[in-house]
Amino acid sequence: MTDKTELIGLSKTEIQEKLIQMGEKPFRAKQLWQWLYFHGETDFDKMSNLAKDLRQKLKNNFTITRPKIVAEQVSKDKTRKWLLEFQDGQRVEMVYIPEDDRGAVCISTQVGCAVGCRFCHTGSQKLTRNLTAGEIVSQFMVARDTYGEWPSPTAETRYLSNIVVMGMGEPLHNPENVIKALNILTDGEGIAISRRRITMSTSGIAPKIVSTLKATGVRLAISLHAPNNQIRSKIMPINDRFPIEEILKACQEYQSGDGSRYITFEYLMLKDVNDSLDNARELIALMKKYKLRASFNLIPFNPWPGCIFQPSTEKNIKAFADALEKAGFAAPVRVARGQDILAACGQLKSQKEKS
């Protein structure tokens, strides 16, 4: 272990304070920031507009670290999956899902998860620890390293165009680090991903929803997965703490005053649990009651060894989607990607641990 300070994950202000403490002018901090986040540079010696003695000072005091890539797989449909390892040996997964000329990188916020949703493989692994802001940001930086997207391309030309905070962990159980990380990822002098191209998904930690969204300006997705508390509590025990009404009230507050804020409700299709037409009707009534501007994302369930649920039939998923669409809600069915590389949440990690 070193007593040097890791730069990735410090806010702009923090970097500035550190450099001023070292007797440097504030504009040096801006230059350093651009090396880190615009150029993706990891070698102090290559920071050509910094004087040699400053580079040496930086080297003596700081590190620039990426998580180690432990495993990497590319699926037939070009979905890519990384297993990443941090300094203490803890591991998370990251997935890149390409579309024609763009694509979304799915990043993690915790090692494991304390929410314990019954259908989720990560949830069956318990919480080990929160990720730091630097560990959250550096996942995306590994994706950029892999695809050679440094220096930061413009919004029109970048291939890694979107970020979804939908990997391992519950972001609203680690809000401080998530907020800090998202503010670094969206900074215009660095990585510069637009806030509208980032979606954060939560299981519904109601008291944290509005404050975290306000602090980041990203898009909100709620893992709803059920039309009523009875079903939801069965598959997501956290619903006893934060029931549907509380979550939807927070959603109302988030939307009030800004008509452009749409919410995506994720709905996992579980056979004979939440996938009947009656369930769809109840869901529509719920949305109408709360007058939310919402769309749905119907997710085919990805089974894993030891899980008690089965995926809904294609016929049921289609009927469910049709009912929502007839009621005026967009309800695309998420296309299963990367099936041949086990792209379900948590599966690459556990496969590797077994071997």
Site residues for ligand SF4 per CB under 6 A = 113, 115-117, 120, 122-123, 169-170, 203, 223
Which of ligand SAH, ligand SF4, none has residue 116 at its interface (CB below 5 to 8 Å by kind)? ligand SF4
Least gap, CB of 3 to ligand SAH (angstroms): 34
* d(C-alpha 151, C-alpha 48), whole Å: 15
Whether the CB-CB separation of 285 and 327 falls below 8 Å is answered with no
Torsions phi, psi for 91 (to 5 deg): -125, 145
Nearer to ligand SF4, 50 or 105 (CB): 105
Residue type (1 letter), 180 = K
The candidate with the shortest Cα–Cα distance to 98, out of 122, 115, 81, is: 81
- Told to check if 344 binds ligand SAH by CB under 6 A, we report yes
Whether the CB-CB separation of 261 and 209 falls below 8 Å is answered with no
Which of ligand SAH, ligand SF4, none has residue 213 at its interface (CB below 5 to 8 Å by kind)? none
- The DSSP result for 138-193, as a single string, is HHHHHHHHHHT--SPPPTTT-SS-EEEE-SSS-GGGSHHHHHHHHHHHT-TTTT--
Name the residues annotated as catalytic: 93, 345
Q: Provide the 8-state DSSP code for 322.
A: H
Least gap, CB of 280 to ligand SAH (angstroms): 18
* d(C-alpha 18, C-alpha 22), whole Å: 6
- Told to check if 266 binds ligand SAH by CB under 6 A, we report yes
Please provide the size of the chain in residues.
355
Nearer to ligand SAH, 179 or 299 (CB): 299
Least gap, CB of 201 to ligand SAH (angstroms): 4
Sole binder of ligand SAH in the list 132, 216, 302, 312 (CB under 6 A): 302
Alpha-carbon distances, residue 171 vs 210, 221, 234, 245, 301 (angstroms): 13, 11, 22, 20, 21
Nearer to ligand SF4, 93 or 170 (CB): 170
Nearer to ligand SF4, 116 or 175 (CB): 116
The site map against ligand SAH for 183-202 (x = CB under 6 A) is ------------------xx
- Told to check if 203 binds ligand SAH by CB under 6 A, we report yes
- Told to check if 120 binds ligand SAH by CB under 6 A, we report yes
Q: Please give the structure tokens belonging to residue 21.
A: 């403490």
Nearer to ligand SF4, 79 or 239 (CB): 239
- Told to check if 239 binds ligand SAH by CB under 6 A, we report no
- Told to check if 268 binds ligand SAH by CB under 6 A, we report yes
Phi/psi-derived region of residue 170, left when phi > 0, alpha when psi is between -120 and 50, beta in every other case: beta
- Told to check if 130 binds ligand SAH by CB under 6 A, we report no
The residues that touch ligand SAH, with contacts defined as CB under 6 A, are: 119-121, 166, 170, 201-203, 223, 266, 268, 299, 301-302, 304, 344-345
